[in-house]
């Protein structure tokens, strides 16, 4: 019955589009195979299918029969509340904390799911998702806020500059990472592999923080070059997070 309905749905869809991508749970593989066979027999285009494995909780697999289920709306509320609790001691107004906690909470939820290859199941943990260390949205968001802070303190337009042959290692690594961005996007699109983007986000954030640790920016003899590295890193990181639906705050 489901397959019959889906046949009609896709035949109608392909009168308006020549390409379709279905994102489904791994338990729909058989049904999708039957659908594609039917569409091929009817001479229709076939959709591409991307299957996601199940997300587990720290206590084990979710089960409706066992009553161990967390709905998305409830999880969103929980992670936003947990994010707000972590901001309790931050010097911001209550309204600023509330708005930032929503950005961090929802962004962390999206990032934590999208960074995993679809076919690999994983265990979702709020503490891991909100960690400021490692491969997480807060780490990337904090890196973006750090970039923004440097640019605010610069208080001038970004000057033209040329690459100096006398670069330190962390500058070279940051430049190499930024240069990978166009191919990273192309690869993610061609392979239907969104996890490539958050993997890149973590790499860029890590390389930038190494650069921040090693290199003085404002007031240095290489100020023009380094402020360009900060500006370019910020622009790429903003775009990468935006692709993931994660907001990039200027302050944290």
Tell me the per-residue pLDDT of 6-46, one tens digit each, with 9 for 90 and over: 999 999 999 999 999 999 999 899 999 999 999 999 999 99
Which contacts qualify for 122-128: CB closer than 8 Å, 24 or more apart? 122/53, 122/55, 122/56, 123/55, 123/56, 123/57, 123/58, 124/55, 124/56, 124/57, 124/58, 124/75, 125/58, 126/78, 126/79, 126/82, 127/82
pTM of the model: 0.88
Check residue 96 and give its pLDDT.
Answer: 94
- Give the Å distances, CA to CA, from 65 to 61, 68, 179: 11, 8, 50
24 neighbors 6 (Cβ within 8 angstroms): no
Calculate the CA dihedral of residues 245, 246, 248, 251 and round it to 10 degrees.
Answer: 140
Higher pLDDT, 78 or 1: 78
Q: What is the mean pLDDT of residues 146-151?
A: 98
* Signed CA dihedral, 132, 138, 144, 149: sign only: negative
Structure tokens at 134: 């490692």
Planar angle of CA 247, 236, 145, nearest 5 degrees: 50
Q: What is the DSSP letter of 42?
A: T
d(CA 225, CA 84): 37
Q: Which domains does the chain have, with CATH numbers?
A: 2-52 (no CATH), 72-243 (1.10.730.10)
Contact partners, residue 214, CB within 8 Å, separation at least 6: 168, 169, 170, 171
What pLDDT score does 78 carry?
95
- What number of other Cβ atoms are within 10 A of residue 22's Cβ? 15
Reading the block at residue 199, the tokens are 């993997």
Q: What pLDDT score does 67 carry? A: 65
Exposed/middle/buried for residue 30 (C-beta within 10 Å: 0-12, 13-18, 19+): exposed
pLDDT, tens digit, for every residue of 149-199? 999 999 888 888 888 778 999 999 999 999 999 999 999 999 999 999 999
């Amino acid at each position: 019955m489901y397959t019959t309905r889906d046949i009609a749905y896709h035949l109608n869809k392909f009168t308006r589009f020549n390409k379709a991508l279905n994102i489904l749970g791994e338990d729909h593989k058989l049904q999708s195979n039957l659908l594609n066979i039917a569409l091929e027999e009817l001479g229709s285009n076939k959709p591409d299918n991307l299957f996601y494995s199940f997300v587990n909780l720290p206590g084990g697999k979710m089960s409706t029969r066992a009553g161990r289920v967390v709905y998305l709306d409830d999880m969103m509320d929980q992670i936003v509340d947990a994010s707000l609790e972590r901001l309790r001691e931050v010097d911001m107004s209550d309204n600023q904390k509330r708005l930032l906690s929503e950005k961090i909470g929802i962004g962390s939820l999206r990032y934590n799911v999208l960074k995993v290859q679809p076919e690999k199941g994983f265990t979702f943990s709020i503490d891991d998702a909100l960690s400021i260390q490692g491969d997480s949205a807060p780490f990337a968001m904090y890196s973006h806020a750090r970039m923004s802070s440097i640019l605010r303190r610069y208080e001038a337009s970004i000057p033209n500059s040329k690459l100096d042959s006398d670069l330190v290692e962390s500058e070279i690594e940051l430049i190499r990472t930024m240069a990978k961005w166009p191919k990273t996007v192309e690869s993610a699109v061609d392979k239907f592999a969104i996890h490539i983007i958050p993997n890149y986000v973590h790499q860029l954030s890590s390389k930038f923080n190494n650069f921040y640790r090693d290199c003085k920016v404002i007031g240095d003899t290489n100020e023009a070059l380094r402020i360009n590295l900060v500006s370019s890193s910020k622009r790429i990181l903003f775009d990468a997070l935006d692709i993931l639906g994660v907001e990039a705050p200027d302050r944290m």
